[in-house]
Amino acid sequence: PTPIRLADYAPPAWVAEHVDLTFDLAPRGARVRARIRFVKGPGEAAGGPLRLDGQKLRLLSAAVDGTDALPSITVDEEGLTLAPADNAPLPDAFTWEAEVEIDPEANTELEGLYLSNGVYCTQCEAEGFRKITYFPDRPDVMATYAVRIEAPTSIPVLLSNGEPGATGPLPGDRHFAEWTDPWPKPSYLFALVAGELVAHTDAFTTASGRPVALAIHVRPGDEDRCAYAMDALKRSMRWDETEYGREYDLSVFNIVAVDDFNMGAMENKGLNVFNSKYVLASPETATDRDYELIEGIIAHEYFHNWTGNRITCRDWFQLCLKEGLTVFRDQQFSADMRSEAVQRIDQVKMLRARQFREDAGPLAHPVRPEEFIEINNFYTATVYEKGAELIRMLRLIVGAETYRAALDLYFDRHDGQACTIEDWIAVFEDASGRDLTRFRLWYAQAGTPRVTVSEGWVEDAPGQGGRYTLTLRQETPSTPGQPLKKPVPIPVAFGLLGADGRELIEPGVLELDDTERCWSFELPERPVPSLLRGFSAPVILERRSSEAERAFLLAHDRDPFNRWEAARALALEVMMGAASADAFAEALLPAITDASLDPAFRALLLTLPGEDEIARETWSRGRPADPDAIHAAAKAARKALAEALEPELRGLYEAMETPGPYTPEAGDAGRRALRAAALGLLARLPVGAGMAEAQCGAANMSDRLPALAALLASGSPAADAALDAFAADWRHDPLVMDKWRMLQATASRPDTLARVKALSEAPDFPWKTPNRFRSLVAAFAQNPCAFHQADGSGYRFLADWLIRLDPVNPQTAARVAGAFETWRRYDAKRQKLIRAELSRIAATEGLSRDMAEIVSRMLD
């Protein structure tokens, strides 16, 4: 297939103003009647042929302005074209009517209208609406919608976007419900849900006093697991009012949890649809991390109401316009709800693990890509997480107040529009008066800049202070299709510390706006610099630094991010065999036992880098990564650290016990996290296995799951019985069993692949449900050791499953295939094995567009 290019963008020839849809729901033959008012579009092609996208639709009838004596109509696999004909030119405005039949039950791709566990639901982003009816399925066509749903009364709940309207009975045990959405929206925000659902309800009053009825709809039996999601929703609504001045704009806000879902959630106007994993939580079934994710994702989808829905993207190349901004907003929200420092560290860990990895491999692409074959392949860490980092940098560069002014201007200027990154940058230029031409490069250029640091110190006279010079130099390695890179503006937040830990000057931000820049400071003593505080830019900072200096920053830096960063750098050296565990333990000890520090932060200090991170680091230092050697070294380092800190770890384990009943509140969660980190290390010692085994009996999942993980890591023979007991308790709960499968898939045990294979071959393994597939197959592909077995059996296992899933659910299959993207990190033999599997996938007949694109990019 030929790629779609940003440079080829043309405004639509026709735009839909209003859409009337009537659904007659049935599992195998659902009928959709559409009445769409079209007017000429703004572009050059205005008034020319009308192209409507449509896939897997059976066209039953069509009419223009009420007559089936149509202008010329040509139907193909991808849609239809309505062209003026001699006898029937297209009028300046007209009403298109069509009735189509679709097959929700056969829809395993989970795009368009499908059935999930008996619940009808839709997923239209990015291009799913074309599987529901013929339509110009592009985000710059924004229309109002009126929807009527007709269904058997056995399906009591009928939902769509906007405001509820009439409901009533129909002959033959059927009924209907009507919805109208007054806000013009692109088709990707359309949604319909129908099923036997129960609602957890609540209410919210907006800042200007408008009441909003809130409801979370779930399958019967799940209604008592919605309270946290509802609370998070109300907090999100209030936060958007106070922090961004954005009020909700309908009288109802509905959320539905479904079991089959390709991603986390979807921000359809007034009707958010969620993967049930990110809604349902109870102390017994969900971990603290689950609660945190629920809070963040509920907020993210809610915030889209303004950043994505009221102001949307002109085309899919502008995806970061809504996603980068909305991720940044949800990050701000989580920082306000929880510990800002802990949130920032977690974000950076994720950015490095996923986005830096993407930027360094064959799938690297700019935050605003310039071409794609399948847009589903571009919902990436680069678009989302790096996109958010760009906004964080903009805010740092212009300042918090100007940022808010720019956002106010953005909402004022562009409400109701489909916009571009140029529109976005323009509001910042207008609000700040700054020229941000060079900043745009961040959107256009792929790859992670490397910033190297060199320093000089010239003493005035002994003991009299001197001149400190700091030189920063940037370079971005080439990425696919972009061999040469230009320098980008990099804000480097910094401080200069004296020997006693004091700030020698007021901390600030250095703007590295060229390939190299040098700054000098007159100081009373030679400083230790603390650079890139708060991770002020998405770059790799390279500075030669001694163990002593890192220990100093770990002890004294007032920036918590750089404190943690110093600990991480030390830990990496230990795990790569370049520093001793004892020295690291000594540096770590004061911080982890400092009761004035947040336990969640201390837990992060105590959590050693994963083997994947060590593999990345090894490769970036120019050596091929050997997963077996890395595993052995990491295991030894963990054990050595546990031995060095044993009494303190035991002390922390005792001290961090949380009294009282479980609450998901961040303070308690932090104590549990620190306790789990201590247990994770202690489990490397004989004493720890028993402690882990005992904790496996905990009533809440936040204590039980890490205990089971620690028991597995300890190699104790009791692990199997504990796994069995867990399964016996939770066999009835698919979301909890996902955790059970994931633990086994990511365990570093000699028989991991055999176990995973056996679990995947069990006749009751529902692999077509994405959560189940991810919990086993995708989780195994993240196993740093078992996946990379030297004989290639791990790679073969993944490839076999991808080939099986691809025809069923290409979007999820292609996403999981990304596990191969790091193949260049490994030794020649493993590279050859992975290439062979990728080639085998590529040669599979009937491969989806999603998979074909991903695999060919990885092979290039």
- Written as six digits, the tokens of 591 are 């911080």
845 is catalytic: no
Q: Which of 64, 266, 532, 701 binds ligand HT7 (CB under 6 A)?
A: 266
How many CB atoms within 10 Å of residue 459?
A: 12
Q: Peptide bond preceding 642: is omega within 30 degrees of 0, i.e. cis? A: no
DSSP assignment of 270-308: TEEEEEGGGT---TTT--HHHHHHHHHHHHHHHHTTTBT
Find the shortest distance in angstroms from Cβ 126 to ligand HT7: 6
Which residues, 6 or more positions from 203, have their beta carbon under 8 angstroms from its beta carbon? Answer: 211, 212, 213, 214
Of 543 and 849, the one with the shorter C-beta distance to ligand HT7 is 849
Of 176 and 379, the one with the shorter C-beta distance to ligand HT7 is 379
Residue 352: CA count within 13 A, CB half-sphere: 21
Find the shortest distance in angstroms from Cβ 656 to ligand HT7: 34
Find the shortest distance in angstroms from Cβ 304 to Zn ion: 6
Q: Which of 267, 359, 612, 837 binds ligand HT7 (CB under 6 A)?
A: 267
Of 111 and 150, the one with the shorter C-beta distance to Zn ion is 111
Q: Give, as ranges, the residues between 126 and 185 that touch ligand HT7 (CB under 6 A).
A: 126
Of 300 and 556, the one with the shorter C-beta distance to Zn ion is 300
Find the shortest distance in angstroms from Cβ 275 to ligand HT7: 8
Distance of alpha carbon 721 from the chain centroid: 35
With contact defined as beta carbons under 8 Å apart, do 140 and 184 qualify?
no
Interaction mask 108-127, ligand HT7, x per CB under 6 A? ---------------x-xx-
Residue 572 sits in the site that holds ligand HT7 (CB under 6 A): no
With contact defined as beta carbons under 8 Å apart, do 669 and 600 qualify?
yes
Interaction mask 302-341, Zn ion, x per CB under 5 A? ---------------------x--x---------------
Give the C-alpha separation, 451 to 470, whole Å: 12
Q: Is the dihedral of CA 100, 104, 105, 110 positive or negative?
A: positive
Percent helix, percent strand, percent coil in the chain, to nearest 5 = 45, 25, 30
- Secondary structure of residue 486 in the 3-state scheme: coil
Residue 262 sits in the site that holds ligand HT7 (CB under 6 A): yes
Give the C-alpha separation, 822 to 798, whole Å: 14
Find the shortest distance in angstroms from Cβ 462 to ligand HT7: 60
Instruction: Considering the candidates 111, 301, 374, 573, report the single residue annotated as catalytic.
Output: 301
Q: Give, as ranges, the residues between 297 and 316 that touch ligand HT7 (CB under 6 A).
A: 300-301, 304
Of 126 and 554, the one with the shorter C-beta distance to ligand HT7 is 126
Of 96-104, 259-267, 402-410, 502-510, the window that binds ligand HT7 (rule: CB under 6 A) is 259-267
Q: H/E element holding 24? A: strand 14-24
Find the shortest distance in angstroms from Cβ 325 to ligand HT7: 11
Of 116 and 160, the one with the shorter C-beta distance to ligand HT7 is 116
Which residue's Cβ has the minimum distance to ligand HT7? 263
Of 128 and 283, the one with the shorter C-beta distance to ligand HT7 is 128
The secondary structure of 162-226, three-state, reads: CEEEEEEEECCCEEEEEEEEEEEEEHHHCCEEEECCEEEEEEEECCCCCEEEEEEEECCCCHHHC
Binding residues with ligand HT7: total (CB under 6 A): 13
Q: Which of 323, 330, 565, 617 binds ligand HT7 (CB under 6 A)?
A: 323
Give the C-alpha separation, 275 to 229, whole Å: 12
Of 263-271, 620-628, 760-768, 852-860, the window that binds ligand HT7 (rule: CB under 6 A) is 263-271
Residue 263 sits in the site that holds ligand HT7 (CB under 6 A): yes
Of 125 and 613, the one with the shorter C-beta distance to ligand HT7 is 125
Sheet holding 93-102, edge to edge: 58-64, 93-102, 30-40, 14-24, 142-152, 174-186, 163-170
Q: What burial class does residue 749 get, using C-beta atoms within 10 Å of its C-beta: 0-12 exposed, 13-18 middle, 19+ buried?
A: middle
Q: Which of 379, 494, 653, 820 binds ligand HT7 (CB under 6 A)?
A: 379
Q: What are residue 272's DSSP bridge partners?
A: 255
The secondary structure of 702-726, three-state, reads: HHHHHHHHHHHHHCCCHHHHHHHHH
125 contact choice in ligand HT7, Zn ion, none (CB below 5 to 8 Å, kind-dependent):
ligand HT7
Residues assigned a catalytic role:
301
- Which residues bind to Zn ion, rule: CB under 5 A? 323, 326
- Which residues bind to ligand HT7, rule: CB under 6 A? 123, 125-126, 262-263, 265-267, 300-301, 304, 323, 379
